Amino acid sequence: MSTSPTSVRFDADSMWVDLSDGRTLGVPLVWFPRLLRATSSQRAAVELSPRGLHWPDLDEDISVAGLLAGRGDQTRPVVLAA
């Protein structure tokens, strides 16, 4: 079974993604800095595909698999605390 996004919405701190299997995922916007800094109209310009979410103007792609695995932005280096 393939789970795909059916809608996405935002509040002040989070992105909420409704999935075709009935689940809703809530993730902190700080996981995705481009979305955190984006305007409401830029966030609304999302394209849904069977595999994920795409914002062409922001150059942001987020897969459902990545969200389900708890992964945030993979383009930034991870800083490990000492």
19-70 residue pLDDT tens: 999 999 999 999 999 999 999 999 999 999 999 999 999 999 999 999 999 8
Measured CA to CA, the distance from residue 20 to residue 81 in angstroms comes to 37
What is the pTM for the complete model shown?
0.85
| Backbone region of residue 59 per phi and psi (left: phi > 0; alpha: psi in -120 to 50; beta: other values) | left
pLDDT tier for residue 79 given thresholds of 50, 70 and 90: low
Q: Which H or E element spans position 34?
A: helix 33-37
The domain spans of the chain are 5-68
Higher pLDDT, 75 or 52: 52
Q: Could you tell me the end-to-end alpha-carbon distance of the chain, in angstroms, rounded to an integer?
A: 41
5-68 has which fold? NE0471 N-terminal domain-like (3.30.2020)
